[in-house]
Structure formats: C-alpha cells, structure tokens
Structure 1
C-alpha cells in the first residue's frame, strides 16, 4: 500500500492527501469524502494507519445505524468533546448536530451535559459520568437511563458512542489536528 502525505504546520503527524492515497486508506478516504463532500483533517490524520481509519470509519457507520438517532449521538459527542477539551470534535459535532436537527441552544446545552428533554438529559448525564469517572459509574446511573426509557441495548450503544468519541478526542488533541469546521468555544472549566 502506498500513501502520499504532507506534513501540516500544526499537526503532529502528516495529513494524508486523499487524492494520492491508495489501498485501504485511499478507498476509505474516498468514502469519507463522498459522505462529507470534503475530507475532514481528522480522517486525514488517522489515515496514516489504515487499520485505525477502518476501525474509526466502521464505528461511525455502525453507530449511525443504531437506535439512538443522529441528533442524540451528536449531543453525546459535544458533551464528551467539551470534557476532553477537544476543539476539533466540538466544532465538528456541533455542525453535525445542527445538520441532524438540533438547535443551537440544544447543542450548547448538550455541550454542558444538559438538555430540557428528560431522556436526552439522562443520556448526557450518563455519558458525562462515564467520562468523568472513567467508567466507574453506580447502579443508580444505569437505572436512571432505564427510568428515562432506554433499554439495555441502548445503554450499551451510549457506551459505544462514548468510546468512539474518546478515540476521536484523543486523536485530535494528542496529534493537534487542525480544526476544519466552524470553531465553537469550549465551555468554562
């Protein structure tokens, strides 16, 4: 497999050039471009490892077909991005959340881990607890999800969203991937 990449002025790894990437990375970057109409820098950074790119892209696809819906998935993503100070994911998922039908106010509230909708609030509260307590949650945290109407499959799906977003947050923060979505200010800590 051959991948052509160019170092970025601020990224800690090269951002793979989609038009010259071949093999698995080239095929996946083509799919990603088809989905977004562009190739976001995060995927270009991850394309340095075709295995990592395949893992990330397949996780996005699988969770996109899950039962939680795109809007809630994006709300979970911004809550986690804010906790991890990931400007890239906060910007990307705020834009994707708006595209999924969330209002600016809903996305701002989600960034803070809140929602006026009790079911959404339960999911965000659980996701934030998982991140802040490194998955050391209580029985009551899981029971709160059930009381809000989530079944066991959806509890697991929320955890899968958390895990995927931790992966993307860590990639973007550790590798200083340049943000290529409209910037969103991190919440006050």
Structure 2
C-alpha cells in the first residue's frame, strides 16, 4: 500500500496535468512514481528535466540503465529495479547484463569500470579516490562522461530515496531475485548453479 497517494492523471490540474500529458505521450502511461511526484509540480519537473538532460548527454542509454540498476540494487529499491530492468531490456541490455549491472559487475571491461564506479559512489557516499578516477579514464571515459556518471548516480539515488518514502505500487514487471551465484534465463528467472 503506497505511503503517499499518487495523483490520478484524470484528476491532475495545472502544471501537473501538463507534465502528465507529456509523460503519457512519451511513455504511453504515467508511472506511479511520477504520479506521486505530481503532488509537487516543481519536484516532478525537476526530475523530468534532469532525466531528459542526461538522456541527451554523452552516456548511452545502456550505460545509463546499467548505472540505474547498480544504484537501485545498492539501495534496495524494488520499484527502480523493476522499472530499470524493463527499460534496460528496451535499451538493449540482455538478462545477463541486467543481472551483472545489479551486482556491480560486467563482462565488458569498460562496463565493469562504469558499474563498479557507480556502486563505489553509493557505497562510499561519493568519496572516491584518484585511483578510481584514473581507472575510469584508463577505460576510455572522458571527464564529461565522468561528470554524467556522477549525475546519473545522483538522479537514481533521488528516485530510490523517494520510492522508499512514498512506496508507490510497482507498475512494471518485478525484477527477479538475485541468486548468490547463479544465472538468469531469458524470461528473467534466476537460479543458482
């Protein structure tokens, strides 16, 4: 049961109604998290603006989804894990890549550096050292991309924390439970070896 009531798109007024119309035209729906953010048009618009700006940045959609999955797992945000598992698939991530990102790892060395850094930012409250930055640069990340990694982590922490407080009903397929040392099938079911 949600702890904050979502604003139904049919009853939204003013700026919230305008924002909901834009969301629905882009996504085909207004997700429950965004309906709940709709209580504050300023908060919803701020979230949408930052998300949109980063969507036009240097990082690819798959990289942004890998970050979202790593951060969502680190913060135990079931809503974000469900949403970004679905969005990750739409962006081209495989079930294995989604699982790996949630675990803070990847098969590809550049992706491994990306999700490892994202997890370290969360785990260390942003306190990274010179070696962490050098590792990203050695894997081909520019300083502009590093800035965007930090901002994408921050955006996802924002939604994770908001969802912990609001507890919106999950309106995406639930993300599978992670097995300790396992594999995930193409339907998203994970099991141990």
TM-score by length of 2: 0.90
Name the residue aligned to 2:104.
Answer: 113
Contact 1:90-1:186 within 8 A present in 2 as well: no
Contact 1:80-1:128 within 8 A present in 2 as well: yes
Please give the secondary structure, in 1, of the residue aligned with 2:97.
helix
Please give the secondary structure, in 2, of the residue aligned with 1:45.
helix
Cα distance in 1, alignment partners of residues 148 and 103 from structure 2:
21
Contact 1:82-1:186 within 8 A present in 2 as well: no
Name the residue aligned to 1:13.
Answer: 4
Please give the secondary structure, in 2, of the residue aligned with 1:51.
helix
1:187 deviates by 3.9
Match of 2:139 among 145, 148, 157: 148
**Structure 1 position 23 matched with structure 2 position 48:** no
Aligned-pair RMSD on alpha carbons? Answer: 1.2
Match of 2:56 among 59, 62, 65: 65
Name the residue aligned to 2:164.
Answer: 173
Please give the secondary structure, in 1, of the residue aligned with 2:159.
helix
**Structure 1 position 184 matched with structure 2 position 175:** yes
Detail structure 1 runs of 4+ shifted over 2 Å in the superposition. 185-189
C-alpha spacing 1:188/1:132, structure 2 compared with 1 (3 Å): farther
Name the residue aligned to 1:3.
Answer: none
1:23 deviates by 1.4
Match of 2:77 among 64, 67, 86: 86
Cα distance in 2, alignment partners of residues 188 and 141 from structure 1:
28
Name the residue aligned to 1:104.
Answer: 95
Contact 2:99-2:178 within 8 A present in 1 as well: no
TM-score by length of 1: 0.92
Give a deviation string over 1:97-137, Cα, whole Å, max 9, x none: 10001111111111101111111111101100000000011
Please give the secondary structure, in 1, of the residue aligned with 2:67.
helix
Contact 1:77-1:162 within 8 A present in 2 as well: yes
C-alpha spacing 1:186/1:59, structure 2 compared with 1 (3 Å): farther
